[in-house]
Amino acid sequence: MRAGLSQSTSLRQELKINPRLYQAMDLLYMPLLDLQQHLKQELLTNPFLEMTEPDEEDAEEEEEREGEEGPVDLEEAETAPPEEREAVKNDTIDWEEILLDGFETGGVREEHEEREYYEPVSVDRRDLDDHLKDQISLLELTPRQLLLADEFAGNINEDGYLTCSIEEILEGINEVVARAAEREGFEGELPLYQLAEAEEMLCIIQALDPSGVGARDLRDCLLLQLRDLKLEDTLAFRLVRVAFDELIAHRWSEISKRYGISAQDVQAAADEIAKLDPKPGLRFSNANDGYIIPDLVVEKIDGAYHVFVNDGNLPRLKLSKAYQEIARDKKKFDGENKEFISSKLNSANWMIQAIEQRRQTMLKVMNYIVERQRDFFEKGVQYLKPLTLREVAEVIEMHESTVSRVTNEKFVQTPRGVLPLKYFFSSGLSTTGGEDVSARGIKDQIEKLVSSEDAKNPLTDQAIVNILRENGVNIARRTVAKYRDQLGVLSARMRKRV
């Protein structure tokens, strides 16, 4: 083999996606609040974009967009053959046909008065650590005790439990003391913390609010709460202390025989214990509140369901006439200035049409969902039909991944409440009548059967199977068990009451 440089030619297929395509996909994926922030940012960074005034007519906006070049369709990007993908980077594919196809699928909505929208702002909340330290600061503690108390508070998780042993806390704080003594030249003069001090401090921490904080496990947490309620002389306290494992396994008969107590008294004690808080620290959790603003609205008008895009609070974008006039005089600009103006103008025009395409795509998807799930809107969740992303994609002639982006993290306001779009998609089971029924509808039936059962003789999984089969649903026992677990419903033995 001879070493050296050489040239050769070859043919190969290569997938290239214009950066604008990525942005178009992101726009389709964004929920309403994210899209609001994105458009506000675009208004700040692109001088060719400005907001439409409320009194401007739609005809003027359409006229401004006539003849302007638009970006490519998402469907073309995701399904086009490789040789056509190369044309994507030139932004030469027109959106006109896409925008006009099914343009009126959302129906005509009557004019409503504009309502000013105030975006909800979450208020910063103090967490459990802040709450504990506030209480510690009010206690009459020496500096030495205060240091130990802070060490304990720092090792309590958000559930309110102590995450390490007393020995580990002692080891950690004594290491801090030893380093401080060495640094200040007091080595040997600062006494290390002893086990008795740590145990005394743990009792102080466990007396703080919320009740049960500082517990080492669930059993310890329940005992602390019962002590705070002055219930140390009750059967509930005794059972938690001496028969905790049997108690959480609902072995009422076994406990009754071992301690000579009636099963009814054991059940009553368990009911009292169930009122306690197994994770007392969570009430101080600093998790942000999740606000939901529906992206779509389904309304029943004159017996027919109509779909609207809930975009009334989105900034209405249009091309700035002033900057368009400036851009037309191309002789004034050259080099970087000319490139900047051309880039921003194309980007502004593309953004306006991308938002419209997003709107029409969402309408197409939701209109088919409403058509397919009409029985659900009329009669309830038991009439929800099985539906897949592929089925929707085939009917509206779009790629499955596009439908997935439309439905992801989007919500719709319906006569039956605000629901995620993913709610309408689920697998199905066959019935003896030859029809399919949604898995979500089966879960609803299981939940209703359990809620109306005899508590002394709860329905087993096989009993639920038999009832569903009588109603024409072909289902296996293991499937019932899986759905029951997903619903958070305990097994028949755990639900039984005496």
Residue with tokens 């072909």: 474
In 3D, which of 422, 406, 414, 413 has the Cα closest to residue 30?
406
Instruction: Specify the higher pLDDT residue, 270 or 313.
Output: 270
Q: Is 330 left (phi over 0), alpha (psi -120 to 50) or beta?
A: alpha
Asked if residue 221 has pLDDT above 90, the reply is: yes
Asked if residue 4 has pLDDT above 90, the reply is: no
Neighbours of 261 (CB within 10 A): 17
Give residue-wise pLDDT tens across range 36-45. 888 888 888 8
Percent of the chain past pLDDT 70, that is, above it, reads 76
Q: How far is CA 202 from CA 13, 136, 170, in A?
A: 68, 12, 12
Contact status, residue 421 vs residue 407, Cβ threshold 8 Å? yes
CA separation for the pair 413, 334 (Å, rounded): 51
Domain edges within the chain: 19-107+311-354, 127-208, 214-285, 426-498
pLDDT for the residue numbered 91: 44
In 3D, which of 138, 122, 130, 137 has the Cα closest to residue 158?
130
**Residue-wise burial string across 151-177, b where 16 or more C-beta atoms lie within 10 A, e elsewhere:** bbbebbeebbbbeeeeeebbeebeeeb
Confidence of residue 435 (pLDDT cuts 50, 70, 90): low
Half-sphere exposure of 196 (CA within 13 A, CB side): 0
Q: Is 91 left (phi over 0), alpha (psi -120 to 50) or beta?
A: left
Give residue-wise pLDDT tens across range 364-404. 999 999 999 998 999 888 888 888 888 898 988 888 888 88
Residues 317-342: what's their mean pLDDT?
72
DSSP H or E stretch at residue 373: none
Contact status, residue 72 vs residue 93, Cβ threshold 8 Å? yes
Instruction: Name the CATH topology of 426-498.
Output: Arc Repressor Mutant, subunit A (1.10.10)
Token pair of 34, please? Answer: 């994210």
pLDDT for the residue numbered 237: 94
CA separation for the pair 396, 167 (Å, rounded): 65
Asked if residue 98 has pLDDT above 80, the reply is: no
Give residue-wise pLDDT tens across range 110-153. 333 444 444 555 555 678 989 999 999 999 999 889 999 999 99
pLDDT for the residue numbered 114: 42
Looking at the chain, the number of H-run helices and the number of E-run strands are 24, 8
pLDDT for the residue numbered 51: 79
CA separation for the pair 380, 59 (Å, rounded): 41
